[in-house]
Amino acid sequence: MKIILLGPPGAGKGTQAQRLQQERGMVQLSTGDMLRAAVASGSDLGVKAKAIMERGDLVPDALMVGLIEQRIAQPDCAKGFILDGFPRTTAQAEALDRMLAAMGVKLDRVIEMEVDEAALTERIVGRFSCAKCGAGYHDKFKQPAKRGVCDSCGHTEFSRRKDDNAETVKTRMAAYRAQTEPLLPYYRAKGVLRGVDGMAEMGEVYRQIVRILDGT
């Protein structure tokens, strides 16, 4: 299956994509994670993206399309992937259509995570992740089973994203509304859009996604 998870910052895209990757062997393609890795490595892309991400604005389409184009052509993506954070603009969605058509690949579903914007700041400012394996957690909603120890890999250091502060969240939300929300009618018109209740508890959101993927 080839799918897109679409939703505002903090909607739960990464949380659900990580679980789909673990349980269904689909590859998580998170452009946010790729950019953060580029920033950490100090690559050309990282140098260009750093300040933009810290402001909460979108990185230019040409850079993002190039990044995904390279990644999606890797052999592991043939077994199925979850796009998490891409596309985010109409130009990116059109570029993705062209890319998939050239590869002879069909996009199965676009899943909208429907959330109440008022809840998102709390989700974002409470988020942290394992510094080694990237597993995602939350101060209130998802602590590791043993406090201070990653469930997935046993590591004891965690990190927080620089853009996870109340001020930057406002810019990220505005970017979502202005540039990404127009993708909902774009995919609705193609007949691939489905919605899940992103306000439900994480396990329930996952079950709703699986029901869509399994076509029940």
Positions in 22-61 near ligand AP5 (CB under 6 A): 31-32, 35, 52-53, 56-59
d(CA 50, CA 149): 29
Under the binding rule (CB under 5 A), the answer on residue 205 touching Zn ion is: no
Q: Which residues contact 133 (CB under 8 A, 6 or more apart)?
A: 150, 152, 153, 155
In 3D space, the residue among 66, 68, 89 whose CA is nearest the CA of residue 77 turns out to be 68
Question: Residues 33-49, buried b or exposed e (16+ Cβ, 10 A)?
Answer: bbbbebbeeeeebbeeb
In 3D space, the residue among 212, 213, 14, 2 whose CA is nearest the CA of residue 130 turns out to be 14
Asked if 135 and 18 touch (Cβ cutoff 8 Å), the reply is: yes
Nearer to Zn ion, 47 or 153 (CB): 153
Q: Is there a catalytic annotation at residue 109?
A: no
Under the binding rule (CB under 5 A), the answer on residue 149 touching Zn ion is: no
Under the binding rule (CB under 5 A), the answer on residue 150 touching Zn ion is: yes
Under the binding rule (CB under 5 A), the answer on residue 144 touching Mg ion is: no
Asked if 78 and 22 touch (Cβ cutoff 8 Å), the reply is: no
Residue from 2, 13, 19, 50 carrying the catalytic annotation: 13
- Name the site residues for ligand AP5 (rule: CB under 6 A): 7, 9-15, 31-32, 35, 52-53, 56-59, 64, 85-86, 88, 92, 123-124, 126-127, 136-138, 141-142, 163, 172, 201-202, 205
Active site residues: 13, 88, 127, 161, 172
Residue ranges in contact with Zn ion by CB under 5 A: 130, 132-133, 135, 150, 152-153, 155
User: What does the binding site for Mg ion look like in residue numbers (CB under 5 A)?
Assistant: 14
